[in-house]
Amino acid sequence: MRLFLPSLRGDTTKQSDFERDCFATDRNDVRKIPYLCTMPFTGKTVAFHTLGCKLNFSETSTIGRLFMEKGFSKVDFSKPADVYVINTCSVTENADRECKQIVKSALNSNPEAFVAVVGCYAQLKPEEISKIEGVDVVLGATEKFKLLNYINLSGKNINTEIHSCEINEADFFVDSYSVGDRTRSFLKVQDGCDYSCTFCTIPLARGKSRSDNMNNVIANAKKIAASGVKEIVLTGVNIGDFGYGREIEYNGKKQKEFTFLELIKELDKVEEIERFRISSIEPNLLKDEIIEFVANSNRFMPHFHIPLQSGNNELLKKMKRRYLRELYSDRVAKIKSLMPDCCIGVDVIVGFPGETEEHFLDTYNFINGLDVSYLHVFTYSERENTEAVLMPNVVPIAERKRRNKMLRILSAKKLRSFYEKQLGKTETVIFENENKNGFIFGFTKNYVKVKAHFNSELLNTPVSVSLDAFDEEGNVVGKVLTEVETL
Report the pLDDT value the prediction gives residue 200, as an integer from 0 to 100. Answer: 95
Q: Tell me the average pLDDT across 391-416.
A: 98
Mean pLDDT of the residues in the chain: 89
**Whether the predicted model's global pTM rises above the 0.85 cut:** yes
Q: Tell me the average pLDDT across 449-455.
A: 95
Report the pLDDT value the prediction gives residue 4, as an integer from 0 to 100. Answer: 45
Split at pLDDT 50, 70, 90, the class of 309 is very high
Q: Tell me the average pLDDT across 305-328.
A: 98
Split at pLDDT 50, 70, 90, the class of 93 is low
Report the pLDDT value the prediction gives residue 327, as an integer from 0 to 100. Answer: 98
Q: Tell me the average pLDDT across 451-455.
A: 94
Structural domains of the chain, with CATH: 2-169 (3.40.50.12160), 171-279 (3.30.750.210), 284-294+308-421 (3.30.750.200), 426-480 (2.40.50)
Report the pLDDT value the prediction gives residue 33, as an integer from 0 to 100. Answer: 47
Q: Which of 176, 173, 194, 142 is nearest to 245 (CA)?
A: 173
Split at pLDDT 50, 70, 90, the class of 95 is confident
With a pLDDT cut of 70, the percent of the chain lying above it is: 89
Which is more confidently placed, 246 or 420?
A: 420
Report the pLDDT value the prediction gives residue 42, as an integer from 0 to 100. Answer: 86
